[in-house]
């Protein structure tokens, strides 16, 4: 007979960006049912370094962010790419990211809906959830597009000294200002919004999931990693076994929300995954599905540093003589520049990779309004390190950074088991830049950044790139060869920690987030994306979580 104190109706595994909202909403929508939320990390909801949005890198030292370093990457000079960060605390990665709040294009969501097999994943289907989750900072914004009563407050509207200079230079290159980037077409130069809550004219606090969602009626257990899901003879999930050995029982469902690294590992350790891989580790097979852990993709980038010609003018952090109180509400960052590569330019490289749908324009990268590239100008040298950039003083106002980010990779990797021991982290191989197409797009992104820095009026304010200290790398310019840019990318490409796709809708999951071949088991987190989105994914993950809770509770999105 099971222990009543260890039996719940719903068990949510993983108290992160998706798990917390699902647990909170189920306790709200189904008050007569018992909901348990299990988190592998500690309760750090009020940790000062979590609350303060500007000190997120130090969370690694606190043990609240886990670094899933990759396996050696063949197309990056066999480097192990570090800083694949994931939150291990109540709130998960929402407690340790940079808080970017954006939406992808209608075309991106239409592709997800096609792969998932249901229109609920279109932009129009997700819009009620996007509105539900937010309290938008701009009260004059369109209420058809934005929400004003949701749990997650945002900040935005900061204007920095370089604003007009940046806008005019972007426009000279054909990239215009877009004030409606969240309405389904982010193409252009868009103002930054972050999921922080203004606490004063000069400060803000992070809006992470466990901070803003009510867990008072949820049985929360922190520091309790789950080893595996338990099943009965009909492949119905009936509970979980913790790493400690303790068993918790589920009367209704188990919902796994551990992210693109850990969720496929837990499914595999539970017997759901590729038969051959599970056999190699003597794991009894429950469901043979080769797609579990497959289809891994990530957003990758190259960040470069450029010298400010007149630092005394206070154009960059610490903004000497130009600072405004609102600068304290977020990172010195104002714009996101989304751009699309024309189909005629992409067809030859897609064809060289052997992709279908090139001749008749049906390949998804050739579709309208897809944002292949994101350019970010930072008004300080973000990620500059003493190892590679010893001459750059982050606090001197003498440098700014430009990030060239590849949003829609076609390369695919995998998350595989290291062993059958739940204590061991999985092996992560994103297979970065394994296609000609991805190499071309990121090279194009870097070249676009270089052209921007050489375009007036910005060009007159910069004094060229400060290259890495390694003498093998000269400063890059728009006249640099493809080979020179590629060499820099191979040596310095990094991740923005957006792994997705490893338990995808349509292959591992059905259109209600249910695991195919099993019963009473769902997954909802970044692993469910069948294809990349041309945006930072956090707001979409929150929307998926709200949708999942509605599906479990039998509610409509407008209730």
**Is 220 marked as binding a ligand?**
no
> Confidence class of residue 59 from pLDDT cuts 50, 70 and 90?
confident
* Residue of higher predicted confidence among 108 and 66: 108
Please state, rounded to an integer, the average pLDDT across all residues of the chain. Answer: 96
Quick one: pLDDT at residue 67? 87
Q: Is 90 exceeded by the pLDDT of residue 54? A: no
pLDDT over 60 at 309, yes or no: yes
Under DSSP, is residue 102 helix (H, G, I), strand (E, B) or coil?
A: coil
Q: Which residues of 477-490 are buried (b: 16+ CB within 10 A; e: fewer)?
A: eeebeeeebbbbbb
> Residues 339-350: pLDDT tens digits?
999 999 999 999
Question: Cα(526)–Cα(256) distance, rounded to whole angstroms?
Answer: 11
Q: Classify burial at 299, counting beta carbons within 10 Å of its beta carbon; exposed 0-12, middle 13-18, buried 19 or more.
A: buried
Q: What's residue 470's pLDDT?
A: 78
Q: Where are the domains of the chain?
A: 145-207+300-406+433-492
Three-state DSSP state, 157: coil
For 384-432, what is each residue's pLDDT tens digit? 888 888 889 988 999 999 999 999 999 999 999 999 999 999 999 999 9
pLDDT, tens only, 130-142: 999 999 999 999 9
The Cα–Cα gap between 77 and 59 comes to 29
pLDDT of 453 strictly over 70: yes
pLDDT at residue number 1: 36
* 213 SS3 class: coil
pLDDT at residue 261 in the model? 96
Is the pLDDT score of 223 beyond 80? yes
Q: What is the pLDDT of residue 388?
A: 83
Strand 155-156 to strand 300-308: parallel, antiparallel, or no bridges (unpaired)? unpaired
- Is 97 part of any known ligand binding site? yes
Percent of the chain with pLDDT over 90: 91
Nearest to 499 by CA among 523, 524, 522, 532: 532
Residue 55 has a pLDDT of 78
Strand-pair category, 226-231 with 462-465: unpaired
What is the 8-class DSSP label of residue 295?
S
User: Is the distance from CB of 170 to CB of 339 less than 8 angstroms?
Assistant: no
Q: Is 35 annotated as a binding residue?
A: no
Task: Report residue 82's pLDDT band, with 50, 70 and 90 as the boundaries.
Answer: confident
User: Does the pLDDT value for residue 3 go beyond 70?
Assistant: no
**Is 98 annotated as belonging to a binding site?**
yes
Is the pLDDT at 4 greater than 80, yes or no? Answer: no
**Cβ(385)–Cβ(365) below 8 Å:** no
pLDDT at position 79 = 96
Reported as half-sphere exposure (CB side, CA atoms, 13 A), residue 140 has a value of 4
> Residue 524 CB: number of other CB atoms within 10 A?
30
Q: CATH homologous superfamily for 145-207+300-406+433-492?
A: Glucose Oxidase, domain 3 (3.30.560.10)
């Amino acid at each position: 007979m099971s222990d009543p104190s260890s039996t719940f109706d719903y068990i949510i595994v993983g108290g992160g960006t998706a798990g917390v909202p699902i647990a909170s909403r189920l306790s709200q929508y189904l008050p007569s049912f018992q909901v348990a939320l299990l988190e592998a990390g500690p309760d750090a909801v009020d940790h000062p370094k979590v609350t303060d949005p500007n000190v997120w890198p130090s969370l690694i030292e606190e043990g609240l962010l886990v670094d899933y370093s990759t396996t050696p990457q063949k197309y990056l000079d066999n480097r192990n790419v570090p800083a694949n960060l994931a939150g291990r605390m109540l709130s998960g990665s929402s407690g340790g990211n940079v808080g970017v709040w954006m939406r992808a294009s209608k075309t991106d969501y239409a592709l997800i809906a096609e792969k998932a097999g249901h229109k609920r994943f279109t932009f129009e289907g997700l819009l009620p959830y996007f509105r539900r989750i937010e309290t938008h900072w701009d009260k004059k914004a369109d209420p058809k597009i934005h929400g004003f009563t949701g749990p997650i407050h945002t900040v935005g509207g900061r204007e920095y000294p370089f604003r007009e200079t940046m806008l005019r230079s972007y426009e000279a290159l054909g990239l215009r200002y877009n004030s409606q980037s969240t309405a389904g077409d982010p193409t252009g130069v868009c103002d930054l919004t972050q999921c922080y809550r203004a606490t004063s004219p000069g400060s803000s606090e992070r809006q992470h999931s466990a901070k803003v969602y009510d867990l008072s009626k949820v049985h929360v257990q922190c520091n309790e990693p789950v080893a595996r899901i338990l099943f009965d003879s009909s492949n119905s999930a009936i509970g979980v076994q913790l790493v400690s050995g303790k068993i918790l029982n589920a009367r209704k469902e188990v919902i796994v929300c551990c992210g693109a690294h850990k969720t496929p590992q837990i499914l595999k350790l539970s017997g759901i995954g590729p038969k051959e891989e599970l056999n190699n580790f003597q794991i009894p097979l429950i469901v043979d599905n080769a797609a579990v852990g497959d289809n891994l993709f990530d957003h990758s980038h190259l960040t470069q540093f450029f010298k400010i010609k007149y630092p005394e003018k206070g154009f960059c952090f610490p903004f000497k003589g130009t600072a405004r109180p609102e600068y304290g509400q977020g990172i010195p960052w104002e714009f996101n520049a989304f751009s699309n590569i024309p189909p005629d330019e992409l067809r030859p490289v897609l064809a060289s990779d052997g992709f279908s749908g090139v001749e008749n324009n049906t390949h998804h990268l050739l579709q309208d309004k897809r944002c292949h590239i994101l350019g970010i100008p930072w008004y300080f040298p973000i990620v500059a390190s003493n190892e590679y950039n010893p001459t750059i003083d982050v606090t001197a106002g003498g440098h700014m950074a430009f990030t060239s980010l590849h949003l829609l990779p076609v390369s695919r990797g995998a998350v595989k088991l290291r062993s059958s021991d739940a204590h061991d982290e999985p092996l992560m191989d994103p297979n970065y830049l394994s296609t000609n197409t991805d190499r071309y797009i990121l090279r194009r992104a870097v070249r676009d950044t270089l052209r921007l820095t050489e375009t007036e009026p910005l060009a007159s304010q910069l004094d060229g790139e400060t290259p890495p200290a390694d003498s093998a790398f000269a400063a890059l310019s728009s006249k640099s060869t493809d080979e020179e840019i590629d060499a820099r990318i191979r040596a310095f490409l990094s991740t923005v920690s957006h792994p997705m796709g490893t338990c995808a809708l349509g292959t591992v999951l059905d259109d209600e987030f249910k695991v195919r071949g099993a019963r009473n088991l769902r997954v909802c987190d970044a692993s469910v994306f069948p294809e990349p989105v041309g945006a930072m994914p956090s707001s979409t993950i929150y929307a998926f979580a709200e949708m999942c809770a509605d599906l479990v509770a039998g509610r409509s999105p407008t209730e």
